[in-house]
Amino acid sequence: MAKRKRAMPALALGVLLAGACSPTPSPSISPAATSIESAAPSAAAMTIACRPDTPAEPALRGDPCRDAVAAVELSVAPVRLPIERLVIEPGPFYCDVIWPGATTAPACFGSIVIPGQYMHAWVRFLRSEAVAAVMLGRDLPADLSVPAATPLPWKATLVAVEVPPAGWVMP
């Protein structure tokens, strides 16, 4: 009788766990899934402007915009707001100035930049005054004179998400 009493709780636990792991879908709709779908931007609402550099090096030639846009979209995804406008321009944020024209540029020494290696972007969101500043870069191959078999991937970094200073105009 003692063995039977000890086996009953284990059997009940096994039945409970087996029921919890059943593949039967839940009849309720997850609110998180609904809100994610409703927050997705429509392709018609977003405008994109991309001005690529004209790289001299064969390894960096080709249209970088499609992959750069995808990298920027992924970098601003944590903001969880639909994108209204996305602007990508060639080169880095020189002298770490992410809002050019809003203030006097600081004195700084230029860095060596290979055309096509860096880009930067601004993203304006629907229902928000905030703008995201994103920097993009890609690793260089050992030999820049050899055309790349596939486009070199962009790495994007979300630099800031804030209301830009007065005087700044999105290009």
pTM of the shown model: 0.71
Beta strand extents in 56-139 (DSSP E only): 83-90, 118-125, 131-137
- pLDDT, one tens digit per residue, over 127-157 is 999 999 999 999 999 999 999 888 899 999 9
One-letter amino acid identity for 129? E
- In whole numbers, what is the pLDDT of the chain averaged over residues? 79
pLDDT-based confidence at 115, cuts 50/70/90? Answer: very high
B/e letters for 110-120, b = 16+ CB within 10 Å, e = fewer, are eeeeeebbbbb
pLDDT-based confidence at 8, cuts 50/70/90? Answer: very low
In the predicted model, is pLDDT for residue 4 greater than 60? no
- For the record, the structure tokens of 144 come out as 């820049």
Q: Which of 51, 123, 122, 121 is nearest to 83 (CA)?
A: 123
Between the alpha carbon of residue 158 and those of residues 28, 75, 149, the distances in Å are 36, 6, 28
